Structure 1
Amino acid sequence: MEQSEGNTRLKAARIAAGYRTQEAFASALGVGIRQVRRWESADPPWPRADVQQQLVALLGQDMESLGFTRPAGVPQPRDSQARTLPRAQGMVSVPVPGLSLQPASVAADFADITRRHRRLYWTVAPATLHPAAVAHANLGCALLQETAGATRRTVAAALAETYLLAGRIEFFDIQQPDAARDTWMRALQAAGQADDQLLGAAILAHTAFIPGWVGQREEAAERMVAARTYARRGPASASLLAWLDAVEAECETRCGNTRTALNLLRHAEEVLAAGSEHASPEWLDWFSPVRLAAFKGNTQLKAGHLPQARETLLQVLDDLQPSEDKQRTVILGDLAAVEAADRNPEAACSYAVAALDQLSTTWYATGMDRIREVRRALAPWQHERCVRDLDNRLYGWETTVSALGR
């Protein structure tokens, strides 16, 4: 049983840093539990220089604040104040601990809000959720200055996920790729502070979308190599590995390499079928076998495999959950594109109008992009009544203002 008296300062700092037991603290430091008990006694011995550095780094306080008495003749170290990591060009630096620590409970509280934002993403308007996510990220940066040890790593992981979410909104929902690039770089820095390899893999894969969507294949491929490297370092689940294949396939499709993309998607299906002993991270809520099929249907469309694309996409539409309205818009847009490519303008317009109906409820810029592509493909039939009816919907007051405003 742990002591109720003695060096209460060290004990309080240990608990605030997320180490609720002396055993956990000893393990983090790589020392024996008897050593920790001596430090938390009424007369704690002065630790060795290397252990002092570990204590200060782990708990975010200097030795005197941790209840130790500096022996005569031992100088005070110069760098005992709060520091920040070196700032990279165009990047907000993630702070390191100061001298005043929050209780360990702040980590769970901060992560809980991150978790709720993750769920809200699927239904709340992007313009509403994005400011809340950014404000939450600012809070996380402040908390990093006031936490240490296991508590700080938990905050940093939640901060990385928050930045990842904000970047997803910027890229997919409101089409601000430059802002998404900066935000995802902050996410990667926070994931590094948490030493979360899988989050790092997810963030890096997201950054591959930026060059991939504009045809910069080599840069996208380089990002994916980095993402797969990070995934190998952690206990990657089958879903995460399959999603990496899907992301690379999306980039290859955008770059015109549909054969390579289809091979990647086939491999992703095999990975999911084989499964894995590792569970998927809680934050990996944007991918599933249905989402993989959606990737496949779009690639089949771009490859000109229209019957296969139609069959795949119709099955995806049937399998989507009621909460997946954003993805539903994309699938309806792709089905419209299939019919336009198959020279069936009435069916294409019907799917496009259904997609617009969905957009009026849940805005998604990626979905609107699909509809605009379909309208361009319908140019040969622009005098047909069905196309004119689509134009009336596409360029109605509400839709036009929403599109231009975003």
Structure 2
Amino acid sequence: MLKVARVAAGYASQQALSDAIETAAPRLGLDVTVGVRQVRRWESSDPPWPSPELGRVLTHLLGLELEELGFTPPWATGERPAPARRAAIEGTAAAARLAAVPAGSTSAVQPASVGVDFGAVTRSHRRLYWSVAPAVLHPAVLEHTRLGCALLPQVTNACRRSVASALAESYLLAGRIEFFDLREPDQADDTLLRGLQAAGEADDPLLGAAILAHMAFIPGWVGQRDKAAERMVAARAYARRAPASAEVWAWLDAVEAECETRCGSPRTALNLIGHAEDALEAGSGDSTPTPVWMDWFSPVRLAAFKGNTQLRAGHLPQARTTLLGVLEDLPRTEDKQRSVIFGDLAAVEAAAGRPEAACEYAVRALDQLAITWYATGMDRVREVRRSLAQWQHTQCVRDLDDRLYGWETTVSALQR
């Protein structure tokens, strides 16, 4: 488990973790050193319990308690105790048990049908995401992950893999809601790491790749390019372990392009998007199926990535054409994405010096957000409003402000 947490935290090698420990220790007021050999022992099947000082640095760097990292305390006599932190997500000892239960060590007390039944609820949550308010759906998904953690020690063999796979998908959905809908990146990072642990229990490398790529979004959106890049390297490594469809590879390109764009490298991002387009075209006859849970990506979604990147690169005519095409081709069910496209079109018009057109698209985005809330869409509108500062005394911007800061919109945004 330590290796999984190390890679997920952005430390691609044992040496990288060793270096990070020696860098972080002085900041915590500690004087400790550790070599690669010690990290290797920690990642063995029977890791020694770290000293208190080293244990403190490890939990600081990786964000997990020592028991969750696979260490057994020398005083342990039974089940490892669950940590008290993150009670809002775990809530019970069962939720922390995922990292402590070794594969194949359980005795089945549940029927084999449990895997199918648990997975059916996971699939229902996946579909509900596109229409149910995130603040309503999120608690239900978290409760479902608690159930999955409680069931995992009670099933064996194929059923165990089935439960673990559905549990990983549920953690992925919860992390997506926390990051994209609720704007809680730190919480999303922790949740996605638990999803990676569950994917490891299921031995599902494609789910692992998807989770790691989502984890790359978190540092990528705040300009931490190196950390995002390391997570993308890990995501691609996982994808290579299983047959991956052209859509999977194109989506990984799109995620990396988004991170590069946010980190100020739109030209690199456009090259990645071009590579993704080539991958989709070359794989049009590919028989490798795309996982059913990857319902957040399609050729039109790739075009949406492209339009935003063109906008940030300053290619305004191209961005306008691309985004209008996305708006025309977007399925009727893609309400969340529609608010983002309206926001990007508003940003194009603002950058082109057309405040009235920008305000018109921004209002359309707000109309859509009133139907289906999406924090990412609201972020786009707020970015546009900031870009309209030089026209803030015009009537169209004042009308936008009246709508953006109306009673209903303001209270709704603050509640969410």
Which of the five TM-score ranges fits, normalised by the shorter chain?
Answer: 0.7 to 0.9
Kindly state the Cα deviation for residue 98 of structure 1 after the two structures are TM-superposed. Answer: 3.7
1:5-16, aligned counterparts within 5 Å? none
- Specify the SS of the correspondent of 2:96: coil
* Rg larger in structure: 1
Tell me which residue corresponds to 2:253. 245
Kindly state the Cα deviation for residue 234 of structure 1 after the two structures are TM-superposed. Answer: 0.7
- Specify the SS of the correspondent of 1:356: helix
The answer to whether the aligner puts 1:358 opposite 2:368 as a matched pair is yes
Paired AA for residue 255 in structure 2: V
CA contact (8 A) 1:83 1:98 kept: no
1:356 to 1:145, Cα distance in 2 relative to 1, 3 A: same
Counting matched residue pairs gives: 325
Paired AA for residue 92 in structure 1: A
1:385 to 395, 400, 407: 395
Tell me which residue corresponds to 2:122. 114
Alpha-carbon RMSD across the aligned residues, in angstroms, is 1.8
The 1-side partners of 2:96 and 2:209 are apart by 20
Deviations 1:292-326 (A, max 9, x none): 00000000000000000000000000011111000
1:367 to 367, 377, 389: 377
Tell me which residue corresponds to 2:409. 399
Tell me which residue corresponds to 1:92. 96
Deviations 1:166-191 (A, max 9, x none): 00000000100011000000000000
The 2-side partners of 1:262 and 1:102 are apart by 50
Tell me which residue corresponds to 1:53. none
The 2-side partners of 1:212 and 1:378 are apart by 26
Paired AA for residue 251 in structure 2: W
CA contact (8 A) 2:108 2:156 kept: no
- Specify the SS of the correspondent of 2:274: helix
1:144 to 152, 166, 176: 152
CA contact (8 A) 1:191 1:199 kept: yes
1:3-402, aligned counterparts within 5 Å? 92-94=96-98, 95-96=101-102, 98-275=106-283, 276-402=286-412
CA contact (8 A) 2:216 2:228 kept: yes
Paired AA for residue 182 in structure 1: D
1:313 to 1:144, Cα distance in 2 relative to 1, 3 A: same
- Specify the SS of the correspondent of 1:339: helix
Query: What TM-score do you get using the length of structure 1 for normalisation?
Result: 0.78
Paired AA for residue 337 in structure 1: A
Deviations 1:355-382 (A, max 9, x none): 0000001000000000000000111110
Kindly state the Cα deviation for residue 404 of structure 1 after the two structures are TM-superposed. Answer: 1.5
Gaps of 5+ in 2: 1-76, 87-94
The 2-side partners of 1:390 and 1:313 are apart by 21
Identical aligned residues as a percent: 70
CA contact (8 A) 2:82 2:96 kept: no
1:82 to 1:244, Cα distance in 2 relative to 1, 3 A: farther
Kindly state the Cα deviation for residue 93 of structure 1 after the two structures are TM-superposed. Answer: 4.0
Tell me which residue corresponds to 2:47. none
The 2-side partners of 1:93 and 1:194 are apart by 15
The 2-side partners of 1:359 and 1:237 are apart by 33
The 1-side partners of 2:82 and 2:277 are apart by 42
The 2-side partners of 1:387 and 1:346 are apart by 8
Gaps of 5+ in 1: 1-80
Deviations 1:326-365 (A, max 9, x none): 0000000000000000000000000000000000010000
Query: What TM-score do you get using the length of structure 2 for normalisation?
Result: 0.76
The 1-side partners of 2:246 and 2:145 are apart by 29
The 1-side partners of 2:353 and 2:335 are apart by 27
- Specify the SS of the correspondent of 1:101: coil
The 1-side partners of 2:133 and 2:301 are apart by 21
The 2-side partners of 1:270 and 1:84 are apart by 49
